[in-house]
Amino acid sequence: MKLEHFALNVEDPQAMTEWYVAHLGLKVVKQQKEAPFMTFLADDSGRIMIEVYRNPANEVPPYRTMNPLLVHLAFVSENPDNDRYRLLQAGASLESDQKLEDGSHLVMLRDPWGLAVQLCKRGTPMLKAKEEENQKSSVH
């Protein structure tokens, strides 16, 4: 099975969508223009999505006070230092910046609504590159 999306009940899905598109490169796949403003956002591979919405049927988690280890969105970053600076300028806040022994560089931020966002540059990449995926599919 493939993961289709991960859903988040958030306080302002419309503003969050605009910020994630402008600053994290996500693309709107489907969007509801009225409450609950359900929006599906895809990464640049077009294979991984998050859904943001404001559904009053349940509470919005207190993202601002939650430990980032409870829930965070992790993005591959080729240059975490540059991306950290750029996102801080766009309203994010810094939680931590770690350089690990395996060569990984992990930066934990919070978006303007308090949701934890991690920038990951792994010493050894864990996701397959698009080219590797394309080669595999053309061999079969």
CATH classification (class only), 61-127: alpha beta
* Segment 58-89, tens digit of pLDDT: 999 999 999 999 999 999 999 999 999 999 99
DSSP 44: T
CATH 3.40.50.300 fits 1-56, yes or no: no
Q: Is the pLDDT of residue 135 over 80?
A: no
Determine the average pLDDT of the residues in 96-114. 97
Q: How confident is the model at residue 132 (pLDDT cuts 50, 70, 90)?
A: low
Q: With contact defined as beta carbons under 8 Å apart, do 83 and 67 qualify? A: no
Residues of the chain with CATH 3.10.180.10: 1-56, 61-127
pTM surpassing 0.85? yes
Q: Please provide the average confidence, as pLDDT, over all residues in the chain.
A: 92
Give me the pLDDT at residue 30, please: 98
Q: Is the pLDDT of residue 139 over 80?
A: no
